[in-house]
Every structure is written in C-alpha cells, then in structure tokens.
Structure 1
Amino acid sequence: MTEADLACEDFQATLAFGAPHHDGAAAAGVSQATVSLVLSGGKSGRLADETRKRVVEAAQRLGYKFVRRGQRIAPGGQSTIIFMADETITDPWMSLAFEGARDKALEAGINMLMGVSHGDADVETNILAGLGNLPILGLIYGTILARQVQIPQSLARHRLVLVNCYDPEHQFHSILPGDVLGGRAATEHLLHRGRTRIGFINGQQGVDAARDRLKGYKQALSSNDVPFDPALVRPGNWEPSAGYQMTRELMALDNPPDAIFCANDMMAVGCYDALRELGLAVPDDVAVIGFDDREIAQYMHPPLTTLVLPLYEMGRAAVELLLDDAGGLHSSPSRIKVECELVERQSTSTVAQLTERRLAAR
C-alpha cells in the first residue's frame, strides 16, 4: 500500500497486535504525535509527503493494518464494549458518559451496548450472561455519583474501566472528574473578580464530590490569603430547596457574602430565588457560580457561570483505555482526573463588565 493509496482512499491505521506508537516514531525518525496524525488519516498540511511516506513504511514493517474508516477492527476479533451504568434517569451523567464512549468506539469501528443495573450485582451478572458468546473487548462501569464501588467477579473477569467511581484495591482503571481543582477554580474565579467574602453551599454530606469541591474552595482561599470562615459554609443536598434555604441563612449573617459558590447548578437555581426575594440582584449585589453545567444554567437570568462535569470526555477516555489495554500498552491500573472546565457567563460579571454591557445596550 502506497502513500497515494492512503491519500486517495482516506484510510486510517489501527495497530493490529499492540506495537505502540513510540516504536513507529523511532523507526520513522519522527515524533509520536506525527505518527498518530498520519496513522489516524490526518490531513495536516504541516507534514511533508516524505515524512508521511516514512511513517507509513515504518508502520507496515511493525505490523500495522490499514483499513477504510468505518470498517470494524478490534484485537482478537473482540468487537463489542459493554457499558454498565447504575442509573440513567435521575441525572444525565451516565447518558453523557455513554454518548462519549459510543462516539469514541464508533471511531474505532467497535460496537457499544448499554445495560442499567441499579447497582445490583445479580442484575449485572445476568446482563453479561444474557449476551451469550458475544465477543467482548471490555467493560465500562459507571455510577451517577462519584464513589467507591465493589466490582462483582463476573465483571472483574473482563478488561474493565471505571467511570465516575473507583475500587478500594485500585485493581482497575478509574476515570474521575477533577472536583478539587474545579472547586478551586470556581472560588478563584470569584476572588479574581473582586469578591472578598465567598459563601459556599455544599452538596450531600459523605459524597466524594461534596468533599472534594469543599477542599478546592478551602485551597483557593488559602492560596489567596483569604481567611477561612466556617460560618460561610452551609450543608446542602444538591436540590434547589437547599440552595434557597442556605442562601437565606447566608444573607442573614451580620457580615453576609458578596458571592456564593453553589456546589451544583440545581442549588444555584434555589440561590437565585432566595436572592430575588431579598431584593438582591445577581451579580450586582451577589455573584453566583454553580457546578455541572446542566442545560438549565445557560437559561437562568442572568445565565449562570459554572463548571462542566466532563462525563462525555470521561466516557471517551474510558474507551481509549480499553483499546490501549487490548493492545498491551498498560502494565498497571491508572487513575485519571479529567478537568472541569469553567464556563463564564453573566452571573459573575465584574462591575466594569456590567457597566460596559449597560452602556452598549443603550
């Protein structure tokens, strides 16, 4: 197969038996990034034809197979990934993770199936048993709440990646949101906008996300030489009612906050309602930031600044880990934290930004 064949037919390369990209890079005398770009069918004009030719020839010597995009290929003929979720209705997180995993799997020409177990080990075992002799590349096990899980033996026999959860013995790959860094980023965002007294309405006690977002909040205060005031931290339960009640309590303090960090967007909805009842404007009087970037956040008045809960990206990363494992690229389980990106909207605008918008609207 020639370079011209690749260009004309729009081929992608898939490693047949696990030779890693750094072997191809060494053989071709280029970087791993260049190998990945050429073998994935990338059309970057930055690569000379001679460079592409060297990568293709080296890949063929190392046993790469070239297949048309969309043609199914998987190590050992294992062409299906099973996504096992505990819940999909109460929150959108596992549906988002499944979408990310499915999109990544389809790029590799691999099927995806989903089962919902409600956390019942017997149901999980029965779901796998019902698949018969279906060739399984691996499993993804996901939970709505970030938490520790015990994996049934029926699942542990397969390649397995945990999404939004982790096992106590660290026997399996796990992919988690970067809640600590997210909590820190949210708090620093408010501090950098001139807010000096920041309230925090936390989530359900005992839940990993609540613990980690509070930890990030405290880290940000400490790094910016702002004393931690326990009176500014209130317990919540992820629901709007808690956001409403705790905002009323915060604003009743002798020295109330000029900003409130709600540990999720739903509590920010209740926070908005309480501030409105008190005759206070967001963000003129009190800036508000949430977490999760639910769809409602962009439609609040004003639109809510928040952080993305990156379940879609976590699902994609899970498939990448399974594919790497199938190719023999991992020697030990890894724990990956995925960044929670900040989405800035009008609920945390500075005084200068507010003035600029008002003048522009005239």
Structure 2
Amino acid sequence: MMDVAARAGVSQATVSLVLNGSVGARLTDATKLRVREAANALGYKLVRRAKKKSPASDKLIGFVADEVATDPWTPLIFEGAREKALEYGVTMTMAVLRGEGDLKSQLIDQMSKQPHLGLIYATMLTRQVQPPQIFFETPSVLVNCYDKRRRLPSILPGELLGGRTATEHLIRAGRRRIALINGQHGIDASRDRLRGYRQALSSADIPYDPELVYPGNWEPSAGYEGTMQLMRQDNPPDGIFCANDMMALGCYDALKELGLRIPDDISVVGFDDREVAQFMRPPLTTLVLPHYEMGAVAAELLLDIAGGLSTGHDQIKVECPLVSRNSVAFGANEENAA
C-alpha cells in the first residue's frame, strides 16, 4: 500500500479507503482513478479479510469521545468507524466523557463490563492528549488527537497539506497576493494550515508577508473583521484563504459590503466543507475535513491490531480533498493546468 500511495501521490489511508470501497469516503473521482491505476501498474492485489475470520465477531469496539454536541466532527468519526466495523461483523458502543481527569474511572464504569475488541478515543479539536493507562491495557487507536510520545497509533487530518492545497489552488488561478485569515492561535489546525500556506507561497517564489495573515478565531465575525482590515491595505489581497468555512461566511459579507465581486475581483477558499459552503453565493471552494474517513481508517487499524498485525505506533495523516466550486475564477489556460 505504501508503494501504491507513493506512485499515486496520495496518503496510505487514501489507498486503503479507495481499494476497500469505503462507503461515504469523500474522495474525488480523479483521486480514486489515480489510486486504481497505480495499484494496477504495480500489480497490487488487496488482501480482504474474510468476515468469518474477524478477531472479534461477537465483541464490541468502544468509542470514547470528549464532545459530540458542538460540531459535527465527532459524530462523523463515529459513523466512519461504525460503518467500517460493521463490514467485519463488529459493533460499536459510545461513551462521551468530558475532561480527562477522571477519564479512566468513567471508562471502567461505562465500558469495561463488556468484552471489548479495543478502544477508539476521538477528540473534537485536533490536539495532544495524555491517554490514561486503560488505553495501554487494550488495543487502542487515537483519532484527531495524538500522544506526544507516540505510544499509541493516531489518525489525524492532513492539515498542513490541506493548507498548501488551498493556497496552491489560488496561485494556479493567477492570484499572487494571497491573504490568510487563520484560526485561533495555539491550535494545531491553525499552526499546520499556516505552515501549508507558507510552503505553497515559497514553492511559487511568492514572498511571505506577515501583514497578509490575520489571526482569527474560527467565527464569522473574525472573517468579516479580518477581511475589512486586509482590504484597507495600500496593496490589498486578490485572494483570501479562510482557515474554516465559518470565517469565509464573514469574509463574503465584508467583500459584498465593499462592493467587490467573488470571484471576479477576489477569490476565496475555505476549509472544512461544512454543509453551508455549497449554498453560499457563489458556492465556496473549500477542503474536506475528512473525519468520516479518519474513523474508517481507525476502525480498520484497530481490527488489524486485534488480529495480531504489528502496526507500530504510526501517526497516519488522512488527506483533505479540495472541493472546487465557483469562488475561485480560472482563465482558460489556468483552469486546464489546475
């Protein structure tokens, strides 16, 4: 799978999702085609597990989350993991545990009374965690979080590559003065999306200008205020990468108030692919935050571990596909190149 991923220019997790035909995986047709062509060229044949040989056909996977109500992300992780587990006759149970201080005792009380195949621990925000000892006493996988010492395998979104992809899309559209309205300072997603933005600029020989980076907070108000501040500059941006779709909503409002047209006067790219993105006017080009796919990869990895496969303590990054809509304008030549 690593060879197929390298040849197709995608992550190993994407290869797994494509070749397993995971239902609900939001990958472009072009990405799926590249993976299948690479697999065929290398003569790779997917080894499928027989359902009857599942290591825990009569057991459960325990899914532990720190939050499910604020955003749709954790439920998407659960759904991806649940669908993958069901393919092998394994069911899942969920516990929502707020705070990590008494996590171990709550886990024991709520989940240890049943014979679990293993545990998946998912967080709403991508962040570092200190897993309680119970996670080291049974097969466990972390999703959207990681142990700094990498004592457990973890599945994370490819935020850095996503930030680079968003910025490169604007560059291919002919934009050269590209601003970033970033998320909350100190958050992993903000840090990595900024790094990807800077990498894309560097690769295109576009100097990094700190005046074009506005520190936001993920809310529409930050998108509005950031856009107003950026457009007051003597040399305002011709493209804006908003680090999430909610800030892009505010960005749209500000540009409309300023009398600027999207994408004719300025192009905008978001991140997360929230449902609202497709209904914005014009529909917002954005990147998928692949929580469903992350859940599927986590369940598959957990099944591998429970089945005796040594996977190491890998940190797997699942790529964030670009969803191209009408908020970025391409000329004929630029569009063909993209």
TM-score class, shorter-chain normalisation, is 0.7 to 0.9
- 2:276 maps to 296
- Give the CA deviation at 1:227: 0.9
Q: 1:200 to 1:76 in 2, by over 3 A?
A: closer
The equivalent residue for 2:102 is 122
- SS at 1:256's partner residue? coil
Secondary structure of 1:249's match?
Answer: helix
Find out whether 1:175 has 2:168 as its counterpart: no
Residue 71 of structure 2: aligned partner: 91
Calculate the TM-score normalised by the size of structure 2.
Answer: 0.82
Partner of 1:239: 219
Q: For 1:284 and 1:327, locate their aligned partners in 2 and report how far apart those are by CA, in whole Å.
A: 55
Aligned twin of 1:345: 325
Change (3 A) 1:246 1:132: closer
- Cα offset for 1:125? 2.7
Which residue does 1:101 correspond to in 2? 81
Q: Deviations over 1:141-160 (max 9, x none)?
A: 11111110011123332211
Seen in structure 2, the aligned counterparts of structure 1 residues 34 and 165 have a Cα distance that, compared at 3 Å, is: closer
Amino acid paired to 1:118: R
The alpha-carbon deviation at position 117 of structure 1 amounts to: 0.7
C-alpha change, 1:77 and 1:104, in structure 2 (3 Å) is closer
Alignment correspondent of 1:141: 121
Q: Is the 8 A contact 1:78 1:136 kept in 2?
A: no
Contact in 2 for aligned 1:202/1:234 (Cα 8 Å): yes
Cα pair 1:125 1:155 within 8 Å, conserved: no
Secondary structure of the structure 1 residue equivalent to 2:327: helix
> Distance in 1 between the 2:199 and 2:87 partners?
39
Which of 227, 238, 262 is the aligned partner of 1:282?
Answer: 262
Match for 1:346: what amino acid? Answer: N
CA RMSD of aligned residues (A): 1.7
Q: Distance in 2 between matches of 1:291 and 1:244?
A: 16
The answer to whether the aligner puts 1:224 opposite 2:204 as a matched pair is yes
Q: Residues 257 and 180 from structure 1, CA distance in 2 versus in 1: closer, same or farther, beyond 3 angstroms?
A: same
Runs (4+) of structure 1 exceeding 6 A deviation are none
1:327 aligned residue: 307
Contact 1:97 1:315 in 2 (8 A): yes
One-letter identity of the residue aligned with 1:263: A
Mapped partners of 2:311, 2:76: distance in 1: 29
Task: Verify the 8 A CA contact 1:288 1:304 in the aligned structure 2.
Answer: yes
Query: 2:57 touches 2:88 (CA, 8 Å); kept in 1?
Result: no
Equivalent in the alignment of 2:45: 33
Aligned partner (choices 85, 105, 112) of residue 92 of structure 2: 112
Indicate conservation of the 8 Å contact 2:62/2:111, yes or no: no
Count of residues paired in the alignment: 291
In the aligned structure 1, how far is the partner of 2:55 from the partner of 2:47?
20
Distance (whole Å) between structure 2 residues aligned to residue 336 and residue 34 of structure 1: 19
Partners of 1:263 and 1:291 within 8 A in 2: yes
Whether 2:241 is the aligned partner of 1:261: answer yes
CA distance in 2, matches of 1:108, 1:77: 7
1:310 aligns to what? Answer: 290
**Residue 280 of structure 1: how far off its partner (Å):** 0.6
Name 1:52's counterpart in structure 2.
none
Deviation at 1:76, TM superposition (A): 5.7
Identity %: 59
Relative contact order, higher structure (CA 8 A, sep 6+): 2
Q: How does 1:59-78 map to 2 (within 5 A)?
A: 67=52, 74-75=54-55
The alpha carbon displacement at 1:121 in A equals: 3.7
Pairwise CA distance, 1:129: 2.2
SS at match of 1:247: helix
Bigger Cα displacement from structure 2, 112-121 vs 306-315: 112-121
Match of 1:199 among 169, 173, 179: 179
Q: Which residue of 2 aligns with 1:79?
A: 59
Find the residue that maps to 1:261 and give its secondary structure. Answer: strand
> Aligned letter for 1:141?
Y
Q: By how many angstroms is 1:349 displaced?
A: 2.0
One-letter code of the match for 1:288? V
1:337 & 1:171 partners in 2: Cα distance?
Answer: 17
User: Residues 179 and 213 of structure 1 are in contact (CA less than 8 Å); yes or no, is this contact kept in structure 2?
Assistant: yes
Per-residue deviation, 1:90: 1.1
Q: Which AA in structure 2 matches 1:89?
A: A
The question of whether the paired residues in 2 share the 8 Å contact of 1:117 and 1:124 is answered with no
Structure 1: gaps (5+ residues) = 1-30, 41-65, 68-72, 354-362
